[in-house]
Amino acid sequence: MPNERILIVDDEPAWVTLVRFWLESAGYKNLESAGSGGEALVMAQNNPPDCILLDLELPDQSGMEVCRKLRSLPALSRTPVVLFTAHKREKVLGLQSGADYFVGKSDRPHELLATIDAVLRRKQMEEGLLSLGSLILKSATRQVFFKDGLVATLTPKMFVLLHVLVKHSPQPVSRAELYRLVEGVEDPGLSRALDVMLNRMRKMLPAELEKRIVNVKNFGYVFLGEATQEPPQLV
């Protein structure tokens, strides 16, 4: 989920630089940082992040106080907060302030990355989001986001069609299964109707996405992942 926005809140430049390096190495590009609790609250309200990494020791107020204030704001009350902690007692206090996860500054990079991945996946599940590389599908509004931008709002049936293909990627889905999931009934042999709908959907997507929806001969369709060059061969 490299396209998610992450706000790093810490007043130690060296630590912020290190965390940025870890995140950028993992593919995260949309990163911001704040050196105080007050600055973090202003930044978060002006442009709500998808996840906040929050230090307990800040120059103007404690990280726990910042967390409590975040939880009191409707637009940020469900934003995942990861606290940097050093002691078990701090974890208990952090839970009471509304933090979601805890990571020690002495922990290894993969532990921080695994925690961030977990909170972002949970957030996506709560919001009804499905992501694959730079592609995000938002079920509540039937919107398609690609490379940080809204590229299409699909009809209900078209959205189900794309959602199924993306969810199963890189495995192909048969025409019969696609028809059943989209129409809610078994395919009566009118697969041409499905092809027409899929072609219309393709025209609503940018070329880079359109070309990744590939016909699998005598079977169905597949949505190719970003690193996939050719559709899988059925045995």
Question: pLDDT tens for residues 155-201?
Answer: 888 999 999 999 999 999 998 889 888 876 676 665 578 888 899 99
Taking residues 149-158, what's their average pLDDT? 91
Q: How many other CB atoms are there within 10 angstroms of residue 189's CB atom?
A: 9
**128 or 197: whose pLDDT is higher?**
197
* Architecture of the domain defined by 6-127: 3-Layer(aba) Sandwich (3.40)
Question: pLDDT tens for residues 68-98?
Answer: 899 888 888 888 898 887 655 555 555 555 5
Query: Residue 197: enclosing H or E segment and its boundaries?
Result: helix 191-203
For the domain bounded by 131-223, which CATH number is listed? 1.10.10.10
State pTM to two decimals: 0.60
Question: Where do the domains of the chain lie?
Answer: 6-127, 131-223
Residues 6 or more apart in contact with residue 54 via CB below 8 angstroms: 9, 40, 63, 66, 67, 81, 82, 83, 84, 99
The one-character DSSP state at 232 is P
Residues 6 or more apart in contact with residue 211 via CB below 8 angstroms: none
CA distances from 101 to 107, 108, 157 (A): 13, 15, 38
